[in-house]
Amino acid sequence: MQQISEATTATLTDESDSLPEFIEQQWSDYTPEQHDVWGLLYQRRMNQLTSDGSRVFLDGARTIGLRQDRVPDLAEVNARLERVTGWNAVPVSGFLPAREFFRCLSVRRFPTTIIVRTREQMDYLPEPDIFHDVFGHVPLHADPAFADFLQHYGKIACAARSDADVVRMTRLFWFTVEFGLVHEDGRTKVYGSGLISSHGDAANALGAKCERRPFSLDAVFNQPFEIDHLQNVLFEVESFDQLFAAVREAEERICR
């Protein structure tokens, strides 16, 4: 997944509308060690997420067929995912310019890295890998409301031209897709990929040191963030329908 920050979003103003070059996932090349690392990460996160993760994530993980015993085969994941929302996870070799990434979202293609972190990197990896991208992001794409929100978000992000609008759309992505919280079953649960895939970030988000604020578009648009430390302010939606309403409002402001 695209590493996104407020300092690097100027690339959104690139005029190219082309999609990036996708690669093939050679699933048979994964080693027993890589499958073991995936399984350890899966078990460690699911132990917490069965209680603290959004039911939309948990339902989505079942829908796309994520398993503890092996790295996902994207062909199998996409066969399940496309049937329900039309989304596909598409392998890429590395970092994408922001505009190419958001262009992919606008056509329901989610760029994903396919490397597996090493056992020594299980607790921290500075760049995304298949666990962050597929385990953290893709289950949400099986939910119709979130799937519609993310596609529409991609269209609006591509349309952003002023520096101020680029920053606003970056903040919306960060505080929803990456670090979003949702109110379910009478309490706060995690759904953003940075929280789904990371024990430390999720524990911080639900702990006493993080201020959890009600989601509003204005509040998110005006909240700066930094990517290199635990977040001290996050936003909680009441439902994913609230996200689609927010991106509609963003469209009215940015594309007017």
pLDDT, mean of residues 186-212:
96
DSSP 27: G
Residue 7 has pLDDT above 80, yes or no: no
Residue ranges of alpha helices (H) inside the chain are 32-52, 55-63, 74-85, 98-106, 130, 144-159, 163-173, 193-196, 199-205, 217-221, 241-254
The Cα–Cα gap between 88 and 142 comes to 10
Active site residue 183: no
Predicted pLDDT of residue 8: 47
User: Could you give the CA distance from residue 247 to residue 2 in angstroms, rounded to a whole number?
Assistant: 20
Calculate mean pLDDT across residues 108-115.
Answer: 96
Q: Where are the domains of the chain?
A: 9-254
Looking at domain 9-254, its CATH superfamily turns out to be Aromatic amino acid hydroxylase (1.10.800.10)
Catalytic entry in 100, 137, 193, 236:
137
Is it the case that residue 15 has pLDDT exceeding 60?
Answer: no
CB-based contacts of 237, cutoff 8 Å, min separation 6:
176, 180, 181, 182, 183, 215, 243
Give catalytic status of residue 76 as yes or no.
no
Q: Kindly report, residue by residue over 165-193, the tens digit of the pLDDT.
A: 989 999 999 999 999 999 999 999 999 99
Q: For this structure, is 178 an active site residue? A: yes
Which of 54, 100, 106, 132 is labelled catalytic? 132
Average pLDDT of the segment spanning 150-160: 94
The catalytically annotated residue of 141, 197, 198, 236 is 197
The rounded mean pLDDT for the chain is 91
Q: Is 51 among the catalytic positions?
A: no
pTM of the complete model:
0.91
d(CA 143, CA 233): 26
Using alpha carbons, select from 198, 187, 223 the residue that is nearest to residue 135. 198
Annotate 9-26 with DSSP letters as a single string.
GGGGG----PPPPP----
Residue scoring higher pLDDT (40 or 127): 40
pLDDT at 73: 98
pLDDT at residue number 10 = 44
* Average pLDDT over every residue of 193-198: 96
HSE (side-chain half, CA atoms, 13 Å) at 95? 9
Tell me the percentage of the chain whose pLDDT exceeds 70: 93
pLDDT of residue 13: 46
For strands 187-190 and 181-184, give the pairing.
Answer: antiparallel
Structure tokens at 240: 């994913």
